[in-house]
Chain A
Amino acid sequence: MNNIIDFQHKMSAHCENGVTGNLLRFYGIELSEPMIFGIGSGLFFFYMPLIKMNGIPVTSFRPLPGVIFKRVTKRLGIDVNVRQYKNQIRAAEEVDKLIEQNIPVGMVVGVYDLTYFPPAYRFRFNAHNIIAVGKENNIYYISDPIMEKIEQINAEDLLKTRYAKGTYKPKGKMYYIKHVPETYDINSAIVKGIKHTCRNMLNIPFPYAGLNGIKTLAKHVKKWPDKLGERKAKLYLGQVVRMQEEIGTGGAGFRFLYAAFLQEASQIMNKPQLNDISGQMTEVGDLWREFGVEAGRIFKDRYSGSNPYGEISKLLLKIRNEEEKTFLNLNKLIKNI
Chain B
Amino acid sequence: MKKEDVPQYDENLLNGIKEIQYAVDKNGNYTEVKSPGWEPKNVALKQALSLVDEIIEDARMQVNEGKKSPIFFYMHLKQMDLQILKEESGLPKFILKRHFKPKIFNKLSEKTLNKYAKVFGISTEELMKIPEKPVKALEYNFGFKLQN
Same complex origin of A and B: yes
Q: Which residues on A are within 8 Å of B, measured CB to CB?
A: 11-13, 33-34, 54, 112, 118-124, 146-148, 165-166, 234-235, 238-239, 241-242, 245, 247-248, 250-252, 256-257, 259-260, 263-264, 278-279, 282, 285-286, 289, 292-293, 295-296, 299-300
**Majority secondary structure of chain A interface residues (helix, strand, loop or mixed):** helix
Closest residue on chain A to residue B146 by CB atoms: A120
User: Quick one: given A252-B1, A285-B1, A296-B43, are A119 and B51 in contact (CB under 8 Å)?
Assistant: no
Shortest Cβ gap from A222 to chain B (Å): 19
Q: Which of B7, B21, B138 contacts A120 (CB 8 A)?
A: B138
Q: Which of A118, A166, A296 contacts B39 (CB 8 A)?
A: A296
Tell me whether A119 and B44 are in contact (CB under 8 A).
Answer: no
Q: Say yes or no: is B19 at the interface (Cβ < 8 Å to chain A).
A: yes
A–B pairs, 5, beta carbons within 8 Å:
A121-B45, A242-B44, A251-B7, A252-B1, A282-B1
**B13-36 vs A, Cβ < 8 Å mask (1 yes, 0 no):** 111011111111000111000000
User: Quick one: given A263-B30, A282-B1, A299-B43, are A122 and B21 in contact (CB under 8 Å)?
Assistant: no
Tell me whether B28 and A13 are in contact (CB under 8 A).
Answer: no
Which residues of the partner chain A approach B141 to less than 8 Å between Cβ atoms? 119, 122
User: Quick one: given A166-B83, A260-B22, are A286 and B1 in contact (CB under 8 Å)?
Assistant: yes
Q: Say yes or no: is B40 at the interface (Cβ < 8 Å to chain A).
A: yes
Shortest Cβ gap from B84 to chain A (Å): 5
Which residues of the partner chain A approach B49 to less than 8 Å between Cβ atoms? 120
Residues of B95-148 whose CB lies within 8 A of A = 138, 141-144, 146
Which residues of the partner chain A approach B87 to less than 8 Å between Cβ atoms? 165-166
Q: Which of A120, A146, A263 contacts B19 (CB 8 A)?
A: A146
Closest residue on chain B to residue A283 by CB atoms: B1
User: Quick one: given A124-B84, A148-B17, A260-B22, are A119 and B144 in contact (CB under 8 Å)?
Assistant: yes
User: Quick one: given A235-B51, A238-B47, are A251 and B40 in contact (CB under 8 Å)?
Assistant: yes
A146 to B138, CA, bound (A): 20
Which residues of the partner chain B approach A122 to less than 8 Å between Cβ atoms? 141-142
Tell me whether B45 and A242 are in contact (CB under 8 A).
Answer: yes
Which residues of the partner chain A approach B79 to less than 8 Å between Cβ atoms? 112, 123-124
Tell me whether B40 and A120 are in contact (CB under 8 A).
Answer: no
Q: Which of A165, A235, A250, A252 contacts B47 (CB 8 A)?
A: A235
Closest residue on chain B to residue A292 by CB atoms: B40
Which residues of the partner chain A approach B146 to less than 8 Å between Cβ atoms? 120
Top 10 closest pairs, chain A to chain B, by CB: A296-B40, A119-B144, A245-B41, A260-B30, A119-B142, A118-B15, A292-B40, A165-B87, A241-B44, A13-B20
Q: Which of A120, A146, A235 contacts B13 (CB 8 A)?
A: A120
Q: Which of B28, B40, B51, B146 has the most chain A CB atoms inside 10 A of its CB? A: B40
Which residues of the partner chain B approach A166 to less than 8 Å between Cβ atoms? 81, 83-84, 87
Shortest Cβ gap from A253 to chain B (Å): 12
Which residues of the partner chain A approach B7 to less than 8 Å between Cβ atoms? 251
Shortest Cβ gap from A79 to chain B (Å): 29
